[in-house]
Chain A
Amino acid sequence: MMQRRHLIAVLAGLPVSLHAQGEAELVLVVGVGSGLQSLTRGQAVGYFTGRLRSLPNGELAVPLDLPSGHPVRERFYRLLTGLGPPQMNSYWARLAFSGQTQPPQVMDSEAALVRSLRDNPRSIGYLPRAQLDDRLRVLLAVTRAEA
């Protein structure tokens, strides 16, 4: 199973890997106004799979996604959950049935995502490290999921 996942990761993520190696790492970020200071990797997965919905201060968390098919988005989920877009779609399709668990809010672009992070302290998002600015705070560096 593991080997297979590695294989898929290797094959599917071949250009990404090249890109990742060539480009920057991804980070999980919030606005500086956010109450969140740090986040474990499991908590990160929880917020982006609908398992965790509230912030430590009790407010409803608002995870933000990039549009479907966006390379960063694909890379993010692959790194965080080890699942590719079809698997993730399947996951959300199951939960969409009940309507209880909402997927992250989809932003039109990275710029819109950044804007939303700045404006809403409850938002959580992900970005390539290179696009960070001083109004954003890094909670976790999204690296390859450990086996």
Chain B
Amino acid sequence: MRASLFDGSLRKRFALSAGAVALALAALTGGLAYLLAYRDAEQDAQATLAGLADAVRNTTAVGSYAGDQVLLEEVANGLIRHPMVGQVEITASSGVRVSRQRGTEAAGAAIPRVAVVLASPFNARETVGSLLVVAEPDALGRKAREQALRLALPMFAQVLLLTLLLDAVAARLMSLPMARLARQVEGLEPGTAERLTVPPAHQRDEIGHLMRRTNTLLQANATALDRERELRSEITAIEGRLRRLLDSSSAAILLLDAGGHLVQGNPTLQRLCTGHSEGELDAEHFIEEQFFGPELMRAMLRDVLAQRRSFSADLRLRRDGDDGGERWVHILLAPLAGDGREPLVEGVLYDVTQRRREEAQAQHQAMHEPLTGLRNRAGLLAELDLAVPAALASGRPLSLIYLDLDGFKPVNDQRGHAAGDEVLREVARRLLECARRGTDVVARLGGDEFVLLLQAGPDEPWVLELAWRVIDRLAEPIVLSDGREPVQIGASLGLAGLPRDAIDRDGLLNLADQAMYRVKHAGKNGVATPTAVLAPLAGR
């Protein structure tokens, strides 16, 4: 505590106030007492002067009568020696005049004075002089002051004593208990189990009330702290469980902000993206760095935020698998239930590489036949469904060659199914050799029927050349693995064009099929269009 006189301590303030009151009271009393005492002193002086004048009256009369200067001076000296007397004047009829004065001349008529007419000692009717006695103003004031002080001092002392007493009482009843209370409260820690003990002396007063209220507050405080502690540990437990859930989840979980920046991701995401658990993902460029087609991911994010609903898609990751294969994830993005702050998007990613691979495999199996690896009927139809509309839209014509092997059945019958299969595989190899890799489609519709789909019109010279080359190639002997003599087969080809001969898929297939039968009937190993069996090209 500071030791200033005005540091605001209640006790000090009380003492100061009481002291000021005491001083004021004393001053008031003193002032009043002075006024009263002055009046008393005036009256006293008047009486004293009258008494003095009376005492010396006869002697003065004698002196005045006899004109005895010395006697009169002695009288005057005697009078002026009295502390109450300020001025003496004796005037005798004989002309003798004696005057005595102490200090300054008394100003004003308010100063008490006594004037006595002196009669002759021998003739009461004869005036022989006069005596004037005037009071001493200083003595009056002094006497009044003395009297006032005599009244005010005990009063001051009394009030001072009372103040000290009250101060002691106030200190004992208020200041000290409050200071003690303050010290006690100061030493208390938040949530402490300590309580203030109310001294018996303060059981029923304000201090005791304050202490009990403080205890209630401490109790409430402790309870609140306990509850808070419980809640916090509960939250920590929940948090831990959630974190374990997140960390151990087989799904990659992430949190993105509206700008696509990674706010949070679990270890599975880390492993999914980088292949190992160490290191940090680049949160700033997460989408661009991790996804093969980042614009799709961005579009999804925009849709999620705009429509406030979830979207999902399969996306390819930028980083390929260790086996060099594509890696795919199924990603589900959903808006996080907003709490008014910046919108966030949660995402769950599953590695669907395996599934996609299996799907692709299944699709491949569905579209291809296992023996030759060529497209099957469904595969061909699917290709046609793509190519026909494209051709019609672009005006670039298509050609379809329907091919049926000649002399295959006997091979199958005589040399066995394995030899037949061997022949079919060799045929497929030779067809692929002839076809333009990439753009031309080779399919096996079943048995010994094949189809070639070419991205060119049936009147194109190279299409016809290709057709004849196929015939030639297939006519070459096929050496089988059984070591017996090579097999000799041939092929009949039907050529149809789109849009020259047909303008739809099935029409194209049927026309080519029919043209092929034309060749069969005409002697095999040749090419026919829907309208004519073609003669072998010149120069063969």
Contacts and interface: CB of A to CB of B under 8 A. Distances in A.
A51 B66 contact: yes
A82 interface: yes
A82 B121 CA distance: 10
Given A95-B71, A97-B74, A98-B74, A50 B66 contact: yes
Max count, chain A CB within 10 A of own CB: residue among B66, B70, B71: B66
B62 interface: yes
A100 B122 contact: no
A100 B71 contact: yes
B71 A51 contact: no
Given A94-B59, A97-B71, A98-B71, A83 B66 contact: no
B62 A51 contact: no
Interface residues of A, number: 17
A80 to B, nearest CB: 8
B66 to A, nearest CB: 5
Contacts of B62: 91, 94-95
A50 B122 CA distance: 12
A105 interface: no
Interface of A (DSSP majority class): loop
A5 to B, nearest CB: 10
B530 interface: no
Contact of A101 (B59, B68, B122, B124): B68
Nearest to A94: B62
A116 interface: no
A1 B68 CA distance: 27
Contacts of A141: none
A95 B124 contact: no
B75 to A, nearest CB: 10
Contact of A1 (B63, B65, B66, B124): B124
Contacts of A49: 65-66, 121-122
A95 B59 CA distance: 9
Contacts of B74: 97-98
Contacts of B71: 94-95, 97-98, 100
Given A94-B62, A95-B62, A51 B67 contact: yes
Interface of B: 58-59, 62-63, 65-71, 74, 94, 121-124
